[in-house]
Amino acid sequence: MRISWTLVGADRLTPAARVSPGAARISPLLNAIMKIERIVSTRLPTPYGEFAIHGFRESESGQEHVVLSMGELTGSEPPLVRVHSECMTGEVFGSLRCDCRSQLQSAMKRIADEGRGAIVYMRGHEGRGIGLVQKLRAYAEQDAGADTIEANAALGLPIDARRYDAAACMLRALGVNRIRLLTNNPLKMAALAEFGIEVVEREASLTEPGPENERYLRTKADQMGHHDLGHLFE
């Protein structure tokens, strides 16, 4: 089954079947005034080279995010950008259930190789926005045979509850409004465009599947419309 998706303002990317006919569409103009403040910028030496790291805070929710940047982001040529959702299980503990850690490391390396670009690291996106403990509950459902979409549905949770308005605001705060986006996810492209970020090119972000994450990646490709992943299984 392939799911049809609807972009509902900035608040949620939701399967179309679960959006009521009268669901209010939030104006991008209204969300553009969302207050997010850059608190600090400093350097971050990494195995891939030295990045600048910028700490941001949303004034209403207090949610904090960071942007890693390298080189000059403004200019005539759009920089390579990855908008990356936090994943404690993958990035901290090395879980093989997903490819989040590999995607983050690959993005850092690609930006370092180019000498220019940014990674917008979104806190509060754990488990596609459902939170850490709920993600673990979804893992238990998957261990019982569900795929990632079925697991969330069984728990009464949205398939994808992430917001990208803050990502757009942070990019604009850094003087960026045109990007080459490193993603397989068409919803990220649509969401960023909703808030005035022009995606002039999409570049694939592919990692080698393994036995623990193959079904996860197949679900992204077959049911969530993610680009390029199908080639991994040919």
Active site residues: 160, 162
The tokens describing 208, both together, are: 């080698």
State yes or no: 148 annotated in a binding site. yes
State yes or no: 25 annotated in a binding site. no
Nearest Cα to Cα of residue 82 among 112, 45, 57: 112
The tokens describing 25, both together, are: 């569409």
State yes or no: 67 annotated in a binding site. no
State yes or no: 150 annotated in a binding site. no
State yes or no: 169 annotated in a binding site. no
State yes or no: 145 annotated in a binding site. no
Maximum pairwise Cα distance, the chain: 51
Asked whether the beta carbons of 45 and 89 are under 8 A apart, the reply is no
State yes or no: 87 annotated in a binding site. yes
State yes or no: 82 annotated in a binding site. yes
State yes or no: 64 annotated in a binding site. no
State yes or no: 126 annotated in a binding site. yes
State yes or no: 234 annotated in a binding site. no
Number of Cβ within a 10 Å radius of residue 147: 17
CA distance 73 to 7: 28
State yes or no: 84 annotated in a binding site. yes
Per-residue b or e along 27-43, where b marks 16 or more CB atoms closer than 10 Å to that residue's CB: eeeebeebebeeeeeee
Asked whether the beta carbons of 190 and 170 are under 8 A apart, the reply is no
Asked whether the beta carbons of 112 and 82 are under 8 A apart, the reply is no
Who contacts 25 (Cβ-Cβ below 8 Å, separation ≥6)? 8, 9
The torsion region of residue 5 among left (phi > 0), alpha (psi -120 to 50) and beta comes to beta
| Binding residue positions for GTP | 82-86, 103, 126-128, 148, 183, 188
Annotated binding site for Zn(2+): 87, 98, 100
Binding-site residue set: 82-87, 98, 100, 103, 126-128, 148, 183, 188
